[in-house]
Amino acid sequence: TCVGGQTANNLAPKLSKWNVRILGTEGENVDRAEDRVKFSSLLDSLGIPQPKWAKFSSIDDAKKFAETIGYPVIVRPSYVLGGSVMKVAWNDRQLEDFLKRAAKVTREFPVTVSKFVGGAMEVEVDGVCDGANVVIGAIIEHLEQAGIHSGDATMIIPSQHLSSYHIATLNDYSRKIARALKIVGPFNIQYLVKGHEVSVIECNLRASRSMPFVSKVKGINLMDYSARALLNLGIEDADEVKVSHVGVKAPQFSFMQIDGADPILGVEMKSTGEAACLGDNFYEALVKASIAVGSKAPTNPRWNVFVSVGTDMRKAEIEPLVRQLLWLGCNIYCTPGTAAYFKERGLNVKVLNKVSDKVEPNVLTYIVNRRIDLVINIPEPKSVEEIETVMEDEYAIRRKAVEMGIQVVTVPSVLEQLIKGVSHVKEFEAKSLQEYHKTSEMKPAT
């Protein structure tokens, strides 16, 4: 069941109750990982940090908890895939709505509410355990901040920003969790890293979507290790393979083909595919992967870029990127509020009226006439779930841009790194996997 995805994984506890022999982790331990309450209790017993959480029997109690720890909070159902029904609530009304929806989908399993940690890096660990020994396949860094579903994230191997302390902690926590759950076979653990603290999001006792990527980058076959564990042939404890190259996996989206789809990324998965590329360094791998999925960077000075950002805090965050685009020679267009903010800071931006103003020059007209090459739209996070009311204008902009084949960026960190990548990487060569893996070697754990 550990190589059949979430559906097969969900069957393991039920099959165990019928005394069906399962190759791999016992159904009881699968349940301990999938059940949010049981897994959180396990982490507490191991002394491993996690965001503050609680299970509730009433919506009123959940609201009181959210008010105590402070919004935003995340609603997490058990036994779901792709972040289904998982939502970030920014107020009481949203929390009540999301709890009711989650309860309908996972009636027999608990729903927990936990603190949403903003501004954190998300990291994953893919590995294999035979019940005692653990092979760490890779520590995977997400380019996007936490809050974007792992299936929609740009993944980097090896990590570019983690300290030796972080890596040692991730290895330690992963081994403790794997042994406590008596995992037999592949596993994936997702973490948050913020400052000095490493905390756990969740653990999946199955092969993850990133395992083929790990195997390609590292030059090892994690499924071979998994098979040995499942057949009780044993594996040796080992840390991740050290490699001199870098791999980047980028998500592929199909917003154009899905009527009405909004290209806002969040905790629920939206990508329909992915592409992975290797490079001699991070920027080379990023540029290759971006080309593979059709993402573009504004290398042409004549690019017209439309920028619309929600709060002043978000505007301050994106200001360096806007300055970078202006330095490249791009024309920057903004809605009146965003334009006023940047003009006060000496940036030469042009004004386009909002969709609802119905006054020219209007952003929608520019998009329809393809006078915009790139849309950067970062809405107020607490309003993402209120698109039909507060966010009608911005949804109309994003959707029309998608329909016109114009790239939409809602996570600026990716574009910022891609621009740096294009300026760093003027040309690159294609290499075989064998050439990249010449220096790879599995190291025993220390």
| pLDDT of 47 over the 60 cut | yes
Note whether 209 and 235 are within 8 A (CB). Answer: no
More confident residue, 189 or 114: 189
- Mean pLDDT calculated for residue range 201-218: 92
345: DSSP letter: T
Q: What is the pLDDT of residue 441?
A: 55
Rounded to whole angstroms, the Cα distance separating 100 from 401 reads: 33
Angstrom distance (rounded) from CA 190 to CA 127? 12
What was the pLDDT predicted at 127?
97
**Integer Cα distance of 279 and 195 in angstroms:** 28
Mean pLDDT, the chain, rounded, equals 86
Nearest alpha carbon to residue 134 among 172, 96, 81, 83:
172
- Of residues 105 and 423, more confidence is placed in 423
Q: Are 445 and 239 in contact (CB under 8 A)?
A: yes
Q: What whole-number percentage of the chain has pLDDT above 90?
A: 45
DSSP state letter for 357: G
Strand partners, 53: 114
pLDDT at 103: 63
Q: What distance in Å separates the CA atoms of residue 218 and residue 283, rounded to the nearest whole number? A: 18
Question: What is the number of helices (H) and of strands (E) in the chain?
Answer: 15, 16
Of 215 and 27, the structure prediction assigns the larger pLDDT to 215
* Per-residue pLDDT at 145: 87
Domains of the chain: 1-47+118-245+442-446 (3.30.470.20), 52-116 (3.30.1490.20), 289-424 (3.40.50.1380)
pLDDT of amino acid 243: 93
d(CA 1, CA 204): 12
Helices (H), 22-91: 27-34, 36-46, 59-69
What's the pTM? 0.86
Tell me the mean pLDDT in the region 84-90: 73
pLDDT in tens, 106-116: 445 557 788 88
Q: Residue 385: which pLDDT band, with cuts at 50, 70 and 90? A: very low
Q: Which among 120, 157, 121, 165 is positioned nearest to 139, based on CA atoms?
A: 157
Q: Does residue 173 carry a pLDDT above 70?
A: yes
User: Is 125's pLDDT higher than 70?
Assistant: yes
Contact 129, 178 (CB under 8 A): yes
pLDDT tens, 402-440?
889 888 888 888 888 888 887 788 788 888 888 888 755
Higher-confidence residue of 422 and 390: namely: 422
Q: What is the SS3 string spanning 207-271?
A: CCCCHHHHHHHHCCCHHHHHHHHHCCCCCCCECCCECCCEEEEEEECCCCCCCCCCCCCCCCCCC
For the segment 317-337, the average pLDDT, to the nearest whole number, is 91
State yes or no: pLDDT of 216 exceeds 90: yes
Q: Is the pLDDT of residue 164 over 60?
A: yes
| H or E element in which residue 438 lies | none
Q: What is the pLDDT of residue 20?
A: 86
Q: What pLDDT is attached to residue 101?
A: 75
Query: 300: burial class by Cβ within 10 Å (0-12, 13-18, 19+)?
Result: exposed
pLDDT at residue number 83:
44
Q: What is the mean pLDDT of residues 136-154?
A: 92
Start-end of H helices in 86-210: 92-105, 164-180
Rounded distance between C-alpha atoms, residue 109 and residue 44, angstroms:
20
The confidence score (pLDDT) of residue 237 equals 94
Instruction: Give the pLDDT band of residue 82 (cuts 50, 70, 90).
Output: very low
